[in-house]
Structure 1
Amino acid sequence: MGHVFCEAGDLVTHLYFIDTGIVSAVAVMEDGRTVEAYMVGPEGVTSPAAAAATAHTYSRLAAQAAGSARRVEAPRLRVLMNERPGLRAVLAAYAVAVQNELEQSAACNALHRADQRFAKWLLRCHDRVEGDTLNLTQEYLASMLGSQRTTVNEAAQTLQKAGAITYSRGKVTITDRTALERVACECYRAGPTLLPDQLV
């Protein structure tokens, strides 16, 4: 995991509009186990609820893929939203999209197989970065998927056998996106549609 922007429970003092890369919102349990709640790429902004009112983050926000972002103080952004109704509308729509993703993820984590969830997660990463190779260790993948490392290894083997990816030495390369989409659960297609053509 890369740079940590804030920990769970912190007051949101800044929001980050992602230019490149990915930031993950990671839920952290008392026993240290983790699972990704949602990811943010060039389509959005971290902690969108804090754009409307003072808020504390429930999740740890950490860089997943290297990139750049523009940082805005939360109080300043709220002033800008009052001055610019268009900005307020876009941020409100994005906050709804994130809420929808959270609800879908709750069902996904409970009902779908590890290989399906892994495929969905890889596709969402692929949508947000350039290139087909991601630097991802088994330990990191387990922390994002809320699974054991052995489960992640089994899921990766399933995707390799399907010809969708190659996985070696902490690198995942998507070799056949169509094959990956066939394995992914329905939640990938039900995810937010606010992608780079609708930049915040």
Structure 2
Amino acid sequence: MDLAILRVASFIIVVHMSSILAEGATLFSELSNSLTVSATGADNTSPNGTKAGADELFVTWALSSAAQVDDSSYKTVELKLCFGVPSQIDRPWRKTNNVLSKDKTCGFNIGSPQPYNRAGNTINWLVRKEIPFAHYFVRAYVLDSAGEKVAYGQSSNAQRTSNLFRIEAISGRHASIDIAAAVFSAFSVISLLGFFFYEKTSTRGRKA
């Protein structure tokens, strides 16, 4: 009985590890560069200087007119905000890896997966407050019915060095915080002066 359980457990482990290895073996270099992707700011302006927590990105994607592919297996599209090369230098936690399961280039989702349409689509995405200051581009991944990435497109060049845009991180400072700090500082000064005069008065009283 114990031997049978051990065999079943071993079989389950082998199947699980095989699925992990299969997923991890997917290489970015194997994907078809089939989509055109663009990212702009409000009113079709440059997205450079977009403010986290305040501004929107307008992202457009479509099947490239130059792509010679059979897109019958294309089912959904995932949009990602990705780090450009200048913001990856000396930052191993943002490192690019050809193995997709290990790639750290694209760490932020833009909206939810959407149905694939060869004519494309446009979404407006309010940049989240937690997005850090960096240089970015947008990448779109195409998934098949099994949820596997099979194609992509991006708003930068292949080297991820041009057509990047900068996102300004939220400062975290607000007028209410500044006012509270000023009031607290003033209260501290007044308290210190009050204590000083109290000590002076107490000392004179003891001498008298």
Tell me which interval the TM-score lies in, with the shorter structure as reference length. Answer: under 0.3
TM-score calculated relative to the size of structure 1:
0.22
TM-score calculated relative to the size of structure 2:
0.22
* Bigger-Rg structure (1/2): 2
